[in-house]
Amino acid sequence: MSTTKIIEADPEDPQIAINAAAELLAAGEIVALPTETVYGLAANALDENAVAKIFEAKDRPSYDPLIVHVAKPEDVHLVAEIPAEVEETINKLMAEFWPGALTFVLPKKDSVPDSVTAGLPTVAVRMSAHPVMRAICKKFGKPIAAPSANLFGRISPTSAQAVLKELGGRIPAIIDGGACLNGLESTIVKVQPGKKSKDEIVLLRSGPVTREMMLPFGKMVKPKVKRDAEGKADAKAQESPGMLDSHYSPVTPFKLLEKPEDFVAEEGKVYALLSHRGTSKAGYLHLHDWDTVEILSPGKGKLSEAAVRLFYCMRKLDEAGVDMIVAEPLSEVGIGVAIMDRLRRASEK
C-alpha cells in the first residue's frame, strides 16, 4: 500500500465519510476513525483476517488485546456476557458514562476471535461519544475493534494528521473528524462482586472517567499487575490494553522528573521541556536553557486542558530534533492521575 487517503467528515454533512468508512470495514479493510479520546485504527471485530491487518499496520504484538466499540449499549451482548452478580452495577455505570470514555472488561462470547482478546477469556468493550464514530458503528452494523491509530508503544494520535505521520502508507484511509476532545485513551475497568455490600470496580487503566467520578457506584480497587522474574509487567499476562510498563513513548528519549533536583544536563546534549503551566513556580522552567518548551496548560494549569494537549505537545517535542525531552510532574487528582500514568509509562526506566 503506497498512499493513505484522508476523508474529511464535514460537520454539516458527514454522511460521505461515514459511508466510505463503513464500505471499507465491510470489505475487510482497516480505517482510522476519530473518537472523543484518541484516533482508533478500526476493523470488523468479528473478522479475524481484518483484525490481523490492525496488528500488521501497527507492528502490534499479538499479546496486547484490543478494545471493541459498539453502536448502542444492547450491542454489548454481541461480543460479551454481563455476569448476573454485577449486572446492576455495570448497568448503572453504562447509564452514567455511555456513550463516553469508559471501557468494560467482560467475559467474551465465542463470536469474538481470540486475536482480538489476545487469547484471554475476556473482551474490552466501549461505546464512543464521538458522533462520527457512533454513526459509523451504526452504519456498519457490527462491532468494531479499534486500538489507537499509531505504531505500537508510541504517542497516541489526537488528529488525522498525527495518524498520517504514524501510519501513512500502511492503511488505506483516515476519516478526519477533527481534534479529539478528551486527548487521553478511555478509562478501563473490571467490575467484580465485593466482599461486603458494594461491588468492586477494578481500575485497570486511568482515563477521562476518573476514580472520583466512579466512587458512587462501587468500591474502587487497584489492579493486580502480573510481573515477571525481573519485576516488570508481564506483557503476556495483562487483562487490558495500557497496562505495560513502557507505552505512549516518543522516539526521542523522554524522562519524567519527579523533582527539579533530579535533572543533570549532559554536556553537548540539547534538551526540551514539557511544562505543566509554563511558570517558574514548579522549579523546572529556569533550571536549564531549554531548546524548546511546550506548555500543557498555559498559566491556569487546568488539568482538563493538559489532558487534551498532552499527546499533541509530546509529538511536537518529539519532532523538535532535541536529544532528550524532560517532563514536569502534575498534580495527581482527577484526570491528573491519567496524565501522570501516561508520562510514567513514556518515561525511560
pLDDT at residue number 196: 76
pTM: 0.93
In 10 A of CB 2, how many CB atoms? 5
4 is in an annotated binding site: no
Residue 234's pLDDT band, with cuts at 50, 70 and 90, is low
Walk across the sheet containing 200-205 and list its strands: 5-8, 173-176, 31-33, 40-44, 144-145, 67-69, 122-126, 102-107, 187-192, 200-205, 219-221
205 is in an annotated binding site: yes
Residue 229's pLDDT band, with cuts at 50, 70 and 90, is low
309 is in an annotated binding site: no
Q: How confident is the prediction for the chain on average, in pLDDT?
A: 93
Question: What is the share, in percent, of the chain residues with pLDDT greater than 70?
Answer: 94
148 is in an annotated binding site: yes
Residue 240's pLDDT band, with cuts at 50, 70 and 90, is confident
Q: 227: which strand partners?
A: 233
320: DSSP letter: T
Angle at 41 between CA 35 and CA 46, to 5 degrees: 105
Tens of pLDDT, residue by residue over 83-109, are 999 999 999 999 999 999 999 999 999
What DSSP assignment string belongs to 6-40? EEE--SS-THHHHHHHHHHHHTT--EEE--SSS-E
69 is in an annotated binding site: yes
60 is in an annotated binding site: yes
Tens of pLDDT, residue by residue over 57-69, are 999 999 999 999 9
Q: Which of 179, 186, 132, 181 is nearest to 160 (CA)?
A: 179
pLDDT at residue number 238: 67
What are 26's three cell numbers?
465491510
In 10 A of CB 201, how many CB atoms? 23
Tens of pLDDT, residue by residue over 170-194, are 999 999 999 999 999 999 999 999 8
User: Is 164 a residue whose pLDDT tops 80?
Assistant: yes
Tens of pLDDT, residue by residue over 308-347, are 999 999 999 999 999 999 999 999 999 999 999 999 999 9
122 is in an annotated binding site: yes
Q: Does 5-176 match 254-346 in CATH topology?
A: no
pLDDT at residue number 230: 63
Residue 195's pLDDT band, with cuts at 50, 70 and 90, is confident
Residue 283's pLDDT band, with cuts at 50, 70 and 90, is confident
280 is in an annotated binding site: no
Tens of pLDDT, residue by residue over 210-226, are 999 999 999 999 987 76
237 is in an annotated binding site: no
User: Is 242 a residue whose pLDDT tops 80?
Assistant: no
What DSSP assignment string belongs to 261-298? GG--PPTT--EEEEESSSSGGGS-TTSS--SEEEESST
Question: What is the share, in percent, of the chain residues with pLDDT greater than 90?
Answer: 86
146 is in an annotated binding site: yes
Residue 154's pLDDT band, with cuts at 50, 70 and 90, is very high
Residue 197's pLDDT band, with cuts at 50, 70 and 90, is confident
Rounded to whole angstroms, the Cα distance separating 236 from 231 reads 14
Does the structural domain 254-346 have CATH classification 1.10.10.60? Answer: no
User: Is 241 a residue whose pLDDT tops 90?
Assistant: no
Q: Which CATH architecture has domain 5-176?
A: Alpha-Beta Complex (3.90)
Rounded to whole angstroms, the Cα distance separating 266 from 268 reads 6
- Sign for the CA dihedral angle at 189, 96, 199, 215 comes to positive
248 is in an annotated binding site: yes
pLDDT at residue number 39: 98
Taking the domains of the chain in order of start, what are their residue ranges? Answer: 5-176, 254-346
Angle at 221 between CA 208 and CA 104, to 5 degrees: 50
Tens of pLDDT, residue by residue over 4-57, are 999 999 999 999 999 999 999 999 999 999 999 999 999 999 999 999 999 999
